[in-house]
C-alpha cells in the first residue's frame, strides 16, 4: 500500500508567509478611489487596521508570522497531505493524486488561516469588534472562532439564501459567540435600500460586504473594523501557509506536482495552495495551475478584466479584477459559495499573465464528483470543494488516456458536514444546472461603463 498520509512535525510549520506580489512579472494595477486616483494607505484606515494595510500594500517576498499566531495555528497545523489512492484505484489512473486536507481546522475549512491572523492584528491595534460578511458560512464561522479565541466581538452578515439553506453554520457562529444576521438586513442603510427595491432578493456577497463595511465605519466608538475572508492581498498572503506546507511534504516523498487545482470564489484557498508553486512556474517550472469556478458565476472564465467595486453599494476602492459587475446577484442555486462577482486581483493578474488556466463546471457534475469522492475516499466534501474534485477527476482521466504518470495536487478546502442539505437536494433530483445567460451578464456589466478602464498588462512569457 502506498503511503496515504504525509505529515510534518510542528517544528516544520512555515514561519513566514509568501507574497506573490513580489514576483509577479507585471505588477498589480493600483486600487483607485472614487476620483480615479490611486488609494493611499491612510484612506483604508477606517476599514482596516494599519498593520494589515501594511501587508496589503507590501511588495516584500516574505513576511514573518508572529509567534502568537503560530501558537493558535498549532491547533490544527501543519495539516496533513494525503494521497487519494482509493480514488486513483477507482479511476484506474496512472496519476498520483495528493490533497492538502484543510478540513482539519475546528471550523472545518481553510478559512481560519487568515481569520486568526486578522483577528490577532486587529487586537494588537486596539480594535474591539469585527464585522464581516459570509456566503456559505465557512468564513463567518472561521472569524467567529478566531474572535472568540483572541477576545473580540464579531458580527456576521450572512447572505440570505445561505442563511436559510445552512442554519447550522449560523449555529456554529453563535456557539463561538458571534452575532449572525441575514443580509440584506434592516440594520444598515445599504440593506434597507436593497430590501426596498428587491424585498425577495436572495442576497449576494456584494450586498453583505456593503452592510459589514457600513456597520464598521459608522461605529461611533471607532473601535470596530471590517474583516474580509478572501480577495485582498493580505488574505491570500495568510493562506500561503497551505502551499508552503505542501511543498515540504511533497519534498519528503520526492514528488513534484504537474497539475495544481483549487476551487475559486474570491481566490483565497486556491491562492493559498497555488501561489508558492506559481513562483516556481515564474522561475521556469512546468506546472499546469487550474482555478475552478461554477458556470453559474463565471468570473474568471467569462467576465472581463475591469476596474470594479468590491461591493454592491460601491463603498470599496475600485479593484482591477475579472468582474461580473458589482450589482451581480447570483441565482439561488446550491453551488456552495463561489458566488462572488469579482476575483482576487493577484489571481486575476496571474490569469492575465497566462500563469493560470481557469475552468468552470456545472453544479451537477461537481456534485457527481463529490459523490464519487465520498464513495471512494470516504470524505464528504464542501460543495465549493466539489468544483475542484470535478477538475481532479477530469485530469486523472486525461492522464489515463495519455498513459502518463502525472502528479496532481489539489486543495481539499473544507468538509461538507454542514452542507448536507445540498447533498439532499442533489440526491433527490432537485438541483439543476444553470449557466449565466450572456444577456444577464451584459446587463450587470453596463454599470461599469463610466468607471476607469483597466489596462490588461502582461509580460507575454507564457
Do residues 33 and 315 touch, judged by C-beta distance below 8 A? no
Q: What are the residue ranges spanned by the domains of the chain?
A: 5-12+64-108+234-448
Q: Are 288 and 428 in contact (CB under 8 A)?
A: no
Instruction: Tell me the pLDDT tens digit for each residue of 384-430.
Output: 999 999 999 999 999 999 999 999 999 999 999 988 988 999 999 99
With cell 482591477, the residue in question is 320
Contacts of 75 (CB under 8 A, 6+ apart): 105, 106
Structural contact between residues 358 and 300, judged by C-beta atoms closer than 8 angstroms: yes
The single-letter DSSP state of residue 109 is B
User: In the predicted model, what is the mean pLDDT of the chain?
Assistant: 95
Q: Is 260 left (phi over 0), alpha (psi -120 to 50) or beta?
A: beta
- Residue 388's contacts (CB-CB under 8 Å, 6 or more residues apart) are 261, 262, 263, 292, 410, 411, 412, 413
What pLDDT, on the 0 to 100 scale, is given for residue 57?
95
Other C-beta atoms closer than 10 Å to the C-beta of 311 total 24
| pLDDT tens digits along 263-310 | 999 999 999 999 999 999 999 999 999 999 999 999 999 999 999 999
Alpha-carbon 46 to chain mean position:
24
Question: What pLDDT was estimated at residue 333?
Answer: 63
Residue 334 pLDDT > 60: no
pLDDT one-digit tens code per residue, 81-93: 999 999 999 999 9
* Strands 359-361 and 318-322, sheet pairing: unpaired
CATH 3.20.20.60 describes domain 5-12+64-108+234-448: no
Query: pLDDT digits over 249-260, tens only?
Result: 999 999 999 999
CB 130 within 8 A of CB 119: yes
First and final C-alpha spacing in the chain: 39
- The grid coordinates listed for 367 are 456534485
Residues 6+ apart with CB under 8 A from 116: 69, 72, 73, 146, 149, 150
Whole-angstrom distance, CA of residue 269 vs CA of residue 382: 13
DSSP annotation of 17? E
Tell me the percentage of the chain whose pLDDT exceeds 90. Answer: 89
Which three cell numbers, joined as nine digits, stand for 394?
A: 477530469
- 347-374 pLDDT, tens digit per residue, is 999 999 999 999 999 999 999 999 999 9
User: What residues contact 210, with CB distance under 8 A and at least 6 apart?
Assistant: 188, 190, 191, 311, 312, 313, 315
Beta strand 305-309 with 318-322: parallel, antiparallel or unpaired?
Answer: antiparallel
pLDDT for res 161: 87
Contacts of 105 (CB under 8 A, 6+ apart): 75, 76, 79, 111, 112, 113, 142
Is the pLDDT confidence value at 335 over 70? no
Beta-bridged to residue 131, according to DSSP, are 155, 226
Residue 66 banded pLDDT, cuts 50, 70, 90:
very high
> What are residue 410's DSSP bridge partners?
99, 261
Q: Is the pLDDT of residue 112 over 80?
A: yes
3-state secondary structure 388-455: HHHHHHHHHHHHHHHCCCCEEEEEECEECCCCHHHHHHHHCCCCCCCCCCHHHHHHHHHHHCCCCCCC
Report how far residue 63's alpha carbon sits from residue 223's, in angstroms, rounded to the nearest whole number. 26
DSSP string, 129-173: EEEEEESSSHHHHHHHHHHHHHT-EEEEEEEHHHHHH-HHHHHHH
pLDDT average, residue stretch 9-32: 96
Q: What pLDDT is recorded for position 3? A: 76
**Band of pLDDT at residue 247, cut at 50, 70 and 90:** very high
**pLDDT tens-digit map of 159-209:** 998 898 888 999 999 999 999 999 999 999 999 999 999 999 989 888 999
Which among 250, 254, 252, 258 is positioned nearest to 93, based on CA atoms? 258
From residue 253, alpha-carbon distances to 7, 49, 287, 289 in Å are 11, 41, 18, 21
Amino acid at each position: 500500500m502506498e503511503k496515504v498520509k504525509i505529515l510534518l512535525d510542528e517544528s516544520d510549520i512555515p514561519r513566514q508567509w509568501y507574497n506573490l506580489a513580489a514576483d509577479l512579472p507585471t505588477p498589480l494595477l493600483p486600487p483607485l478611489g472614487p476620483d480615479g486616483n490611486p488609494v493611499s494607505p491612510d484612506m483604508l484606515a477606517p476599514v482596516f487596521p494599519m498593520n494589515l494595510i501594511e501587508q496589503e500594500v507590501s511588495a516584500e517576498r516574505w513576511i514573518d508570522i508572529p509567534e502568537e499566531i503560530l501558537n493558535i495555528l498549532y491547533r490544527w497545523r501543519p495539516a496533513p497531505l494525503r494521497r487519494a489512492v482509493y480514488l486513483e484505484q477507482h479511476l484506474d489512473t496512472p496519476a498520483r493524486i495528493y490533497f492538502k486536507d484543510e478540513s482539519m481546522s475546528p471550523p472545518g475549512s481553510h478559512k481560519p488561516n487568515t481569520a486568526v491572523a486578522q483577528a490577532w492584528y486587529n487586537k494588537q491595534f486596539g480594535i474591539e469588534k469585527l464585522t464581516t460578511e459570509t456566503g456559505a458560512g465557512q468564513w463567518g464561522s472561521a472569524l467567529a472562532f478566531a474572535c472568540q479565541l483572541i477576545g473580540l466581538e464579531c458580527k456576521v452578515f450572512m447572505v440570505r439564501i445561505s442563511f436559510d439553506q445552512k442554519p447550522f453554520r449560523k449555529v456554529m457562529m453563535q456557539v463561538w459567540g458571534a452575532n449572525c444576521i441575514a443580509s440584506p438586513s434592516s440594520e444598515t442603510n445599504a440593506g434597507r435600500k436593497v430590501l426596498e427595491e428587491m424585498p425577495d432578493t436572495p442576497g449576494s456577497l456584494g450586498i453583505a460586504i456593503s452592510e459589514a463595511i457600513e456597520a464598521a465605519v459608522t461605529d461611533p466608538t471607532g473601535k470596530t473594523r471590517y474583516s474580509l475572508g478572501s480577495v485582498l492581498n493580505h488574505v491570500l498572503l495568510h493562506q500561503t501557509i497551505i502551499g508552503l506546507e505542501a511543498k515540504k511534504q511533497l519534498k519528503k516523498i520526492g514528488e513534484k506536482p504537474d497539475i495544481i487545482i483549487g476551487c475559486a470564489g474570491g481566490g483565497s484557498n486556491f491562492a493559498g495552495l497555488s501561489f508558492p508553486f506559481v513562483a516556481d512556474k515564474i522561475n521556469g517550472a512546468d506546472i499546469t495551475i487550474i482555478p475552478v469556478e461554477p458556470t453559474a458565476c463565471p468570473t474568471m472564465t467569462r467576465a472581463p478584466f475591469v476596474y470594479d467595486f468590491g461591493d454592491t453599494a460601491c463603498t470599496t476602492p475600485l479593484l482591477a479584477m475579472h468582474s461580473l459587475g458589482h450589482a451581480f446577484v447570483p441565482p439561488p442555486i446550491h453551488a456552495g459559495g463561489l458566488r462572488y462577482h469579482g476575483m482576487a486581483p493577484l489571481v486575476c493578474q496571474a490569469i492575465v499573465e497566462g500563469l493560470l488556466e481557469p475552468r468552470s463546471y456545472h453544479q451537477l457534475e461537481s456534485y457527481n464528483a463529490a459523490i464519487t469522492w465520498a464513495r471512494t475516499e470516504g470524505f464528504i466534501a464542501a460543495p465549493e470543494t466539489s468544483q475542484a474534485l470535478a477538475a481532479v477527476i477530469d485530469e486523472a482521466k486525461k492522464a489515463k488516456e495519455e498513459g502518463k504518470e502525472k502528479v496532481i495536487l489539489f486543495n481539499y478546502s473544507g468538509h461538507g458536514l454542514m452542507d448536507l442539505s445540498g447533498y439532499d437536494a442533489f440526491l433527490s433530483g432537485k438541483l439543476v444546472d444553470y449557466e449565466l445567460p450572456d444577456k444577464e451578464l451584459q446587463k450587470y456589466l453596463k454599470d461599469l461603463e463610466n468607471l476607469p478602464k483597466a489596462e490588461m498588462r502582461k509580460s507575454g512569457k507564457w
